[in-house]
Amino acid sequence: MSGTHSSLPAPIARVWEPLRERSRSKRALLLMAPLLVFELLLFVAPFLILLRISLTSGSQDLRYAAGTWSLEGYAEVLSSGVLQDAILYSFKLGLIATGITVSIAVFYAYAIWRAEGAIKSALLFSVILPLLTTLVVKTYAFRPLLSPTGTVNDLLLSLNLVSEPIQFVPGTIGVIVGQVYIVLPYAVLAIYSVLSTMDWGIVEAARDLGASRPRSVLEIVVPQAMPGIIVATVISFAWSVGAYAAPGLLASQRVPFAIEVEKRLLSNLQWEIATAYAVIMLLLMAASIGVLTVTLNRFGGEFEYA
Amino acid sequence: MSEITLDGLAKRYGEELAVEDVSVTIDDGELLCLLGPSGSGKSTTLRMLAGLETPTDGEIRIDDEDVTDRPAYERTTATVFQDWALFPHKSVLENVAFGLKMQGVGKEERRERAREMLERVRMTDHADDDPMNLSGGQKQRVALARSLAVNPDVLLLDEPLSNLDKRLSEDMQIELREIHAELEETFVHVTHDQDEAFTLADRIGIMADGNLVQVGEPNEVYQNPKNRFIEGFLGDTNFVEGVVDRTSPDAVRVETELGREVVVPTSNPDALDAGDAVSLSLRPEALSIESADAGLEADEAGQPVRTDGSTTNSVVGTVESVLYRGSTVRYSVAVEGTSVFAERTVSDSGEFETGDEIRISWDGADVLAFRDDGSRVDL
């Protein structure tokens, strides 16, 4: 994005630039108008308000001191060990959950793509099924499953695999399991939508030329599915780093960024800190998604293993 | 360089029979064309050879080694696919080098060898292009180079020319022949196009309903088709239905729907009995046409006699339509209740028009006869 529109906020520029390139007619702009208004009202305007609040100073009895200018919030974020620790924890959760989610999703999408008839429908339906249940209920369901007295531990104990129960929940493992479960359907659908347009013939061609089954997946299927894998990664990562429901229901003492923000907003009433925290997090997210996308894109073409 | 043996090869998909029984030995260095209409099982046979389908029954041997259960990537075959199946995310050069990469050939060497292959198919200029931006003919060349690059024992071609226009396809046929002559490798080429098969093949295998009906040199299968299906499939011909009236030691007389008796000379009068139903094939190239009143008289038996005294079969009919087909003109002629077509080269003078009365005549020795069940009568 360059030229006169570089000053536009990213979401608008993202919508505007391709439009400008594809069509110079006003009609395209007119068609996009509802979306632009939507973005403006529900993203850009609130974000500007948030940005303004992050630049105020704190107040003893109010949420923030309106009308003041100060960098207090940012200073607090940059010096507070607690806040930085939450950011690190968020990214750790995000990376692990994304890695697990995308790996499972690639295999699952491949299975749907290759399946036929009733099996294909069953596989597709079982991806969509969890989306029909509310997030809180399905996430909360992991507590009786994964708690020290839960089903999984009962099973492990009765099989003599462990001598005493493991505390998956509350804890990091529980949060990751819950988060993977939340984002997996979206990741599977993103990858499957790309795979479904792919020609099986080119996989056969690769095998015919001597590529073993795993090799043909690695050389042909993965690079072809890369646009879907990138979408799946970005969805999983952004959602997991900013996760609120799974950590809220399944985490122990260590909490990620979203829970910390909630505490500052609702309990501590330190809005200047909470908003500054959010702005910094947004920048970090944008940067890391950029890095992820560029890295993954390199694997879309020819690449070497040895 | 390999001899391939197919022995009782069959493929069923559930209840559906794709290939019933294919047995043939393909000689080392031979170019065999599997020719048949769509659904005849020729592509399935080729896919079994490639290892992309597992036979339900039968055996495949390459150089006396049973490869029936070997997956495609462990076979020394390479396939050129109908839609070419180029890897869209790889450059032309990377496509061609792919097989060598799978063989573990180092980067520099495989790129060099891929370049040589591209040179052979005259695609060097496009080495760094995106294969999706190439024309059909160019894609075809790249697919060919990609398959040849692995130096396969057998090259399998699955209708690779069927998506090209006629002119391009004919150029490619000649080029394929040249490449085959140069490499002396075994080629198996699947096609539904008779002209393509006749141009390319050392031998043609004709498939129908999952069976290999006849295998032979192009000339042989054309001159000596085993059954009515092959006669009809290999070229346009007139089938005339009839019933044997009587046989004599040197000829069979057939009462036909042309409204007159057709005399077919035979050295095997016992092949047919009076009353047998037969179809006679009158190929357009065996028919000559002239004005209805041109130099013919009837002898005592009612057989027309040329002014030079030779007897001949002939019928008179009315031109129904005239079809210009480039170098030839096709006349469709109404004779009694049926219709017969004959062809002439455009340069032949004396063109006829719709409504003209013309005489169609032929040499009885050029007629092929088939029984009710489609089998050929050995005359």
Give yes or no for B71 touching A (CB within 8 A): yes
Residue B78, judged by CB atoms within 10 A of its CB (0-12, 13-18, 19+), counts as: buried
Size of interface A-B (CB pairs under 8 A): 68
**Interface contact A302-B89, CB threshold 8 A:** yes
The DSSP string of B89-109 is: TS-HHHHHHHHHHHTT--HHH
Alpha-helical (H) ranges within chain B are 42-50, 92-102, 107-120, 136-149, 166-183, 194-200, 218-223, 228-234
What pLDDT digit, counting tens, does each position of B158-172 carry? Answer: 999 988 888 899 999
pLDDT of amino acid B85: 94
pLDDT higher than threshold 90 for residue B303:
no
pLDDT of amino acid B214: 94
**Interface contact A224-B88, CB threshold 8 A:** yes
Specify the fold of A80-298: MetI-like fold (1.10.3720)
pLDDT of amino acid A15: 66
Q: Which among A201, A208, A224 has CB closest to B83?
A: A201
Choosing among B102, B132, B144, which should be mutated to test the A contact, i.e. which has the most A CBs within 10 A? Answer: B102
pLDDT higher than threshold 60 for residue B69:
yes
Mean pLDDT of B321-330: 85
**Interface contact A208-B88, CB threshold 8 A:** no
pLDDT higher than threshold 90 for residue B360:
no
Give CA–CA dist B255/B126, Å, rounded.
64
Q: How far is B95 from chain A (nearest CA, A)?
A: 10
pLDDT of amino acid B245: 87
List the beta bridge partners of residue B5: B25, B61
Give CA–CA dist B211/B34, Å, rounded.
11
Break chain A into its structural domains and give their ranges: 80-298
**Interface contact B83-A199, CB threshold 8 A:** yes
Phi-psi label, residue B240: left if phi above 0, alpha if psi -120 to 50, beta otherwise: beta
Chain A residues whose beta carbon lies within 8 Å of the beta carbon of residue B72: 204, 207-208
**Interface contact B71-A207, CB threshold 8 A:** yes
pLDDT of amino acid B348: 67
Q: How far is A208 from chain B (nearest CA, A)?
A: 5
pLDDT of amino acid A203: 95
Largest CA distance in chain A: 74
Largest CA distance in chain B: 85
Collapsed DSSP state (helix, strand, coil) of residue A67: coil
CA distances from A279 to A94, A286, B76, B235 (A): 18, 11, 60, 77
Q: What are phi and psi of B12, to 5 degrees?
A: -120, 140
Give CA–CA dist A232/A235, Å, rounded.
5
Domains of chain B: 4-233 (3.40.50.300), 236-371 (2.40.50.100)
**Long-range CB pairs of A145-153, under 8 A, 24+ apart, other chains included:** A145/A169, A146/A173, A146/A174, A146/A177, A146/A250
Beginning with the edge strand found earlier in the chain, give each strand of the sheet holding B57-62 in spatial order: B65-66, B57-62, B4-13, B16-26, B211-216, B203-208, B31-35, B186-191, B154-158, B77-80
pLDDT higher than threshold 80 for residue B302:
no
Give CA–CA dist B34/B190, Å, rounded.
5
pLDDT of amino acid A8: 59
Place of tokens 């997956």: B71
pLDDT of amino acid A164: 87
List the beta bridge partners of residue B344: B329
How many CB atoms are located within 10 Å of the residue B319 CB? 18
Chain B residues whose beta carbon lies within 8 Å of the beta carbon of residue A299: none
Q: Exposed e or buried b for every residue in B80-108, given b needs 16+ CB within 10 A?
A: bbbbbbbbebbbbbbbbbbbbbbeebeee
Give CA–CA dist B56/B65, Å, rounded.
19
Residue in chain A closest to B86 (alpha carbons) equals: A202
Q: Within the 129-188 window of chain B, which residues sit less than 8 Å (CB to CB) from chain A? A: 146-147, 150
Q: Which among B73, B90, B103 has CB closest to A207?
A: B73
Give me chain B's average pLDDT, please.
88
Low-confidence ranges of chain A (pLDDT < 50): 1-6, 301-306
Phi-psi label, residue B259: left if phi above 0, alpha if psi -120 to 50, beta otherwise: left
**Interface contact A209-B146, CB threshold 8 A:** yes
Give yes or no for A164 touching B (CB within 8 A): no
Residue B131: is the preceding peptide bond cis (ω within 30°)?
no
**Interface contact B72-A207, CB threshold 8 A:** yes
Chain B residues whose beta carbon lies within 8 Å of the beta carbon of residue A213: 71, 73
What pLDDT digit, counting tens, does each position of B91-121 carry? Answer: 999 999 999 999 999 999 999 999 999 998 9
Give CA–CA dist A289/A231, Å, rounded.
10
Q: Which among B51, B71, B81 has CB closest to A205?
A: B81
Residue in chain A closest to B80 (alpha carbons) equals: A205
How many CB atoms are located within 10 Å of the residue B63 CB? 14
Q: Which among A204, A215, A223 has CB closest to B85?
A: A204
